[in-house]
Structure 1
């Protein structure tokens, strides 16, 4: 992937988050609890995209932002699955995971991958955990006796987006930091693919916000 194509895809990936946010604003009074929780993630992503892009254009290292972003993103994802997987796991499990992950991210920041390095250790662990959550949710759906219209279930779309995004990027998250120390065709390719997967995730977010859940 050449540099020009990388920047085009990267810009689309950064700007597309505006679409589900606009839908969320227009439908705010009709959003259910899961959609509102997704809205918090959308706001976080928008803020991070804005700040990181400003840093990028000013040639300031924006990697420190991702160290803190990973913590807040995981906590918001845990908040969603805490309710979605309430029949499988107790709330205590999610509290322990939230505290443990936060502690691990802070330890990694100070002792293994400093804030000016890509936090691949943390994002790899988060990817594994979220993929586990996603598979657990699909398992829960299969165990349900009653029929439910999945196409109108926001959590189904959110969960599908998470599974595609985090499973696809596990390899990226685990790549050694040496690949990112200087711009190269290989790094453009990896981050370009990441941007494409991110666009797909935002598409699933948009559907999750757009659908009208059926009354239970």
Structure 2
């Protein structure tokens, strides 16, 4: 039974991303401008997962080059979401400057440092650190402005929590990989893949909750 669940989880678990897509479509008319940037993130994640499965499972080709572009779109979609969330809480130039910095670093890394046919670990680690920083700043904003006393009803709270848990989890897995990959070998690699898929599913469940709670108001609500 455990083997059956493990097989299903690895092979079909990512299909649960369709939940966030369905919730997005159902709640589209109620979404504020900031929350609508999440649609770009969801579309990128879903399309990336489909392309990844098709190219690796059926075409048997190296698809790592696609993830360089995927990371670029993913980060900028998240940054645009936070730009709407922060509003005037931070200088208006701050998030665009972060986007330019990340995009420039990602391009230089792909062209000159880590080959496009390999894993772009430097870019991924930078993405994790920047998103974690924005997520923590968003929590600080919630505490400073105190727009609501019931954070569990806030769309931004759920989505922000999902991003923090996911990117902190990915960063933790990167650090563990560097420490244990040589000694644990393929067993740790398999466990790492399970954990990564788990935090992806958790992220999209949190996003789905946030989108479902989206207010009919055109303003982002905490």
Normalised TM-score (structure 1) = 0.88
Which ranges in structure 2 are unaligned for 5 or more consecutive residues?
A: none
Separation in structure 2 between the aligned mates of residue 161 and residue 29 of structure 1, nearest angstrom: 22
CA gap of 1:155–1:11, structure 2 versus 1, over 3 A, is: farther
2:154 counterpart residue number: 153
Q: How many residues in Structure 1 have an aligned counterpart in Structure 2?
A: 212
Going from structure 1 to structure 2, the CA distance change for 1:209 and 1:12 (only over 3 Å counts) comes to farther
Task: State the alpha-carbon separation in 2 of the partners of residues 146 and 32 from structure 1.
Answer: 16
Q: In the alignment, is residue 106 of structure 1 matched against residue 107 of structure 2?
A: yes
For the residues of structure 1 that align with 2:86 and 2:30, how far apart are their CA atoms? 23
Q: Give the corresponding residue for 1:30.
A: 30
Query: 1-side partners of 2:146 and 2:213: how far apart?
Result: 23
Q: Alignment RMSD, CA only? A: 2.4
What residue is the counterpart of 2:64 in the other structure?
A: 63
Residues 111, 22 of structure 1: CA spacing in aligned structure 2 closer, same or farther, 3 A cutoff? same
Offset, 1:192: 1.2
SS in 2 for 1:117: coil
Given that 1:6 and 1:189 are in contact with CA atoms closer than 8 Å, whether structure 2 keeps it comes out as no
Corresponding position of 1:47 = 47
Determine if the alignment matches structure 1 residue 116 to structure 2 residue 117. yes
Structure 2 counterpart of 1:76: 77
Corresponding residue for 1:21? Answer: 21
Between the aligned partners of 1:40 and 1:165, the Cα distance in structure 2 is 17
User: What SS does the corresponding residue of 1:18 show, helix, strand or coil?
Assistant: helix
Deviations 1:81-129 (A, max 9, x none): 1121223322211111111111111111122211121111101001001
Contact 2:85 2:138 (C-alpha < 8 Å) held by counterparts: yes
Higher helix share: 2
Residue 194 (structure 1) aligned to one of 193, 196, 200: 196
Q: 1:203 aligns with which of 202, 205, 211?
A: 205
| Partner-residue secondary structure (3-state), 1:87 | helix
1:37-56 residue CA offsets vs partner (Å, 9 max, x unmatched): 11121111111001011011
Counterparts of 1:146 and 1:96, CA distance in 2? 27
CA contact (8 A) 1:155 1:208 kept: yes
The answer to which of 30-39 and 202-211 deviates more is: 30-39
